[in-house]
Structure 1
Amino acid sequence: MKKREFYIVSGLVMFLCMGTIYSWSVFQKPLVEALKLTYGKNISPTMASMPYTVFLFCYAFSMPVAGRFIKKVNPKALAIGGSLAISFAWILAGFADSIHFIIATYGIIGGIGVGIVYGIPMAVVTEWFPDKKGFAVGLTLLGFGLSPFITAPLANKLIQTFGVFPSFKILGVSFAVILSLLSLTLKFPDKKEDNKTISDNIMLELTPREMMKTTTFYTMWCCFVIGTFSGLMIIGLSSTYAQEIVNLNPAKAAMFTSFFAIFNGIGRPIFGALTDKLGTKKTITLSYLLIITAGVLSLLFKGNIFIFGLSFAIMWLNLGGWLAIVPASTVNLFGKSHYSANYGILFTAYGIGALSQGFVGGYIDEAFGSYFYIFYPVIAACVIGLIISNKFIGENK
């Protein structure tokens, strides 16, 4: 293995650990039941999704702060600090006696920890692969997407064997060891090692302040909100939807969650490579059209297990895709020099998408008594995304 490929593998394993957030739907029902049984507390659907929602929100909004320090501070030290915050959050969640405590620990502390660590392997890989940035970043992020393929059945087994609260503690200790050790491997290339193949497509080198004065930035930000709103809502409700709408038992629902994780994972290198080849606008258009197709199929064939598998696989594929489209497009549209800070600011869109999907998904269940109707706002949002992306984003590759 060449030296620069090692950073992809290292980052991939780190994202595999951090991506356990996408297995939240496996934790949600047992957690609600445990809090009711042990402490007599009834949790509404909206509140039950709040740890997941707050985690994603805090993770997104801590990224731009951490992004400003990635090249100013030793990346190893910054990554270790974030890794310990992640493990601390999971361990503390194991001592929870209320949903609010889960939100404060797993949601806030865990989200900030992931926000600190998340950008570091990506920034390192981007520096080592200036010639194949989209594909290389997508390959590294494969771990984040594939995580539920491993962690969903693992978490389900731990919960069945030890209970939901001990499972939080076991995973927290495991993350402390794995993430801290892998953080020690992170390193930016020396100038003499830096790959000489610099992309000829980079036309601009904008600072964060300059970037935020462009129409392209606000269009990309809105498009990212729509992509993450759609994908995160579907991912967060996959297990619950499978049980309530498709009538699957928890074990089969967890199996489907693991299956979908494959698509979330492969969506990253696929859409990263597509962004390198087709450019930002065409790749965004393709993503939105796929999401709309999945939503329409789900509405037309309610409860059909084949359509459920196909539609949700498409949705997971596209969420993974957006987490490669945006980092690759950040370099394409705004340059490499301020990549970490610029991408951190764009990533706040992920937080808004996370926050909005939590409230919308919970409201739909409470208002209509079923998660079946979640596809209506998803389709409407993607139609808006198609219009603004084609009007305001150029053809840069």
Structure 2
Amino acid sequence: MAQEKTKFLAKERTIAQPGFNRWLVPPAALAIHLCIGMAYGFSVFWLPLSKAIGIKESIVCGPEIGFIQELTVTHCDWKISTLGWMYTLFFVFLGSSAALWGSWLDHVGPRKAAVVSTFCWCGGMLFSALGIYYHQFWMMLLGSGVIGGIGLGLGYISPVSTLIKWFPDRRGMATGMAIMGFGGGAMIGSPLAAELIKFFASDTDVGVMPTLIVLASVYFIFMMSGALGYRIPPSDWQPTHWNPSLSVKKNKMITHKHVDVKNVFKIKQFWLLWGVLCMNVSAGIGIIGMSSPMLQEIFGGQLIGIDKPYGALDKPQLAAIAAIAAGFTALLSLFNIGGRFLWASFSDKLGRKNTYLLFFILGSLLYLSIPQSANTGNKVFFVGAFCIILSMYGGGFSTIPAYLADLFGTQMVGAIHGRLLTAWATAGILGPVIVNYMREYQIAIGIPREQVYNQTMIVLAAMLMIGLFCNLLIKPVADKWFMEDIEEQAETVNQLEKQLIMTYESQDIRERPSHVLTILLAWSAVLLPLSWGIYKTLQNVSKFFN
């Protein structure tokens, strides 16, 4: 009776019934992350939107039109640099919304947070489509940048604590599966958007507005399905044959107590982890944005078998190496995505602290080796080094939630993770600024283009060394910060959950599996589009090797 009186989106309604199979939760998380991950692929809209009025060619605004005027201008086209502000706002609001509403998420549960995320992300895209119709850039910033960015933050952290609680024996693997989806969202969304733009483009429309409407509709279905598929385990649930005391004995960094999110800013381990994430992301995110021009400028004509520097190439040759560079970027995206799952899973065996030690030591050595491989024209080692670096960049994102759970417990890990994502927002500014401004400075003082990244690699290696230092200082959290048993019970167990726990105990159910067909259908729903995205990416990768 108690469950019938609770609201449909209430946290109590998401507590799993006896017989629920935990392997149904990861595809629900993937359904959401694969949709919001399209934030990485929004650049596919920049070029056509820069010709939204001119259609064939951009109608350039006069010099009197600044950024403020571009927000409402209707007689000339937006600059690509202006459109890029949407991308910036995505990740600013992702980090800030995750930090602001992380505690609310833990209170209301993942289903309600995911539903709010769905309406924000898809509603923001529809509002942006309306902005394109009226050619009002402020509507696009508000729609996708602000409202959509809030949806990003809530959608990104909504499955983290849930998966960690369902997979206490495989925390890294569980979070790796979900966060892999965020990295893979653009692999599906970008080629799909490109095809839709071609389909809808006409003599009077560049095709972006209807594309956004279609994407918002498709994403709404997938994200709502994922949100409704979320379940959380009862507070005392644990996998069959898993002994938590053994994991503590094996790894002293793992706790089974819980820290209150209200105290986390007072704990030095939180700020050390903040530095770990910030440095790892800063060292990788700037390279992602510059990977295509970097490869072209360093190797120039060598990419097509011509012994000419980048500045001496003609237009057909530049187009040829640009296609190869696009394949290089696609290759990096595959390693970024694969690293999110593989490194996080590997951390379950190696330990989170040791995994980050490997990231920082190996990453810094690879960064320091890149100038040598560039100077000698060793393209294989150059590309291989960046593939490994980007895999560790992705692995850093997926390993950090499990690291937090090890140190601070699982009860409020979603809220704590939200606060930690401010490091991502910081790195999203720091990394690109370092890479881009150092490049501009090197060119300005006359350094040849093939050498302008050498000093940058040394700086990025130094940033990883700072991250290494922070990681080495991380120790188990002092006992004084953990909640007492009475506090934990007050936070987790309500009357309905007590009734469900009694039901579990009375039925003596271990891990009675859900129907195999249900699990297969759930996984097929997310793996089929992901496979299509990987196929399209591999087509681009083939350009690099051919």
> Which range, TM-score by smaller chain?
0.7 to 0.9
Alignment of 1:40 onto 2:121: no
CA distance 1:190–1:39, change in 2 (3 Å):
farther
Q: Which has the larger radius of gyration?
A: 2
Q: Distance in 2 between matches of 1:20 and 1:394?
A: 37
Q: CA deviation at 1:363?
A: 2.9
In 2, the alpha carbon distance for the partners of 1:33 and 1:381 equals 39
> Map of 1:1-397 to 2, 5 A cutoff?
3-28=21-46, 31-32=49-50, 37-41=57-61, 49-94=84-129, 95-96=131-132, 97=135, 102-161=140-199, 162=201, 163=206, 165-166=208-209, 167-191=211-235, 194-195=238-239, 197=242, 199-200=244-245, 201=248, 202-203=254-255, 204-242=257-295, 252-302=324-374, 305-307=379-381, 309-369=383-443, 372=453, 374-390=456-472, 392-394=473-475
Moved more, 177-186 or 373-382: 373-382
Alpha-carbon offset, residue 72 of structure 1? 2.2
TM-score, normalization by structure 2: 0.64
Residues 35 and 224 of structure 1: CA distance in aligned 2, closer, same or farther (over 3 Å): farther
Which segment drifts farther, 251-260 or 40-49? 40-49
Contact kept? 2:286, 2:433, Cα under 8 Å:
no
Letter matched to residue 131 of structure 1: D
How many residues get paired?
Answer: 395
Q: Tell me which stretches of 4 or more aligned residues in structure 1 moved more than 6 Å.
A: 42-46
Equivalent-residue separation in structure 2 for 1:102 and 1:358 (angstroms)? 23
Question: CA shift at 1:30, angstroms?
Answer: 5.1
Whole-angstrom CA distance in 1 between matches of 2:123 and 2:322: 28
* Structure 2 unaligned spans of 5+: 1-18, 62-76, 249-253, 300-317, 444-448, 478-546
Deviations 1:117-157 (A, max 9, x none): 11112222112111111111112222122333333433444
Q: Do the aligned partners of residues 395 and 300 (structure 1) sit closer, same or farther apart at CA in structure 2, a change above 3 Å counting?
A: farther
Q: Is the 8 A contact 1:84 1:180 kept in 2?
A: no
* Conserved 8 A contact 1:82-1:117: yes
Q: Give the Cα–Cα distance (whole angstroms) in 1 for the partners of residues 293 and 361 of structure 2.
A: 25
Which stretch shifts more, 249-258 or 52-61? 249-258
State the shift of 1:298 in Å. Answer: 3.6
The CA distance in 1 between the partners of 2:217 and 2:195, in whole Å, is 17
Report the AA paired with residue 314 of structure 1: I
TM-fit CA distance, 1:115:
0.4
Gaps of 5+ in 1: none
**Matched residues in 2 for 1:242 and 1:93: separation?**
34
Q: Distance in 2 between matches of 1:189 and 1:9?
A: 16
> Relative to 1, partners in 2 of residues 1:395 and 1:291: Cα closer, same or farther, differing over 3 Å?
farther
Deviation readout 1:317-370 (Å, 9 max, x if unpaired) = 112111122101101111112211111111211111112234334434544457
| Residues 35, 98 of structure 1: 8 Å contact kept | no
Q: In structure 1, the residue corresponding to 2:108 is in which secondary structure?
A: coil
Query: How far apart are the structure 2 equivalents of 1:328 and 1:39?
Result: 50
Whether contact under 8 Å (2:94, 2:150) holds in the other structure is yes
CA contact (8 A) 2:126 2:212 kept: yes
Cα offset, 1:315, TM superposition: 3.0
CA distance in 1, matches of 2:398, 2:122: 26
The question of whether the paired residues in 2 share the 8 Å contact of 1:267 and 1:317 is answered with yes
Give, in angstroms, the shift of residue 49 of structure 1: 4.3
Residue type of the alignment partner of 1:215: K
Equivalent position amino acid for 2:116 in 1: G
Q: Which residue type is aligned with residue 32 of structure 2?
A: M
Question: Contact between 2:118 and 2:220, CA under 8 Å: does it hold in 1?
Answer: yes
Q: Identity across aligned pairs (percent)?
A: 26
Mapped to 2, the partners of 1:237 and 1:33 lie a distance apart of 24
Residue range with higher mean Cα deviation, 207-216 or 331-340: 207-216
C-alpha distance in 2, partners of 1:250/1:30? 19
CA distance in 2 between counterparts of 1:160 and 1:239 reads 24
- Distance in 2, matches of 1:138 and 1:297, equals 29
CA contact (8 A) 2:197 2:207 kept: yes
Q: How big is the shift at 1:62?
A: 0.8
Tell me the TM-score normalized by structure 1: 0.85
Q: SS at the partner of 2:286?
A: helix
Name the CA shift for 1:74/1:85 in 2 (closer, same or farther; >3 Å): same
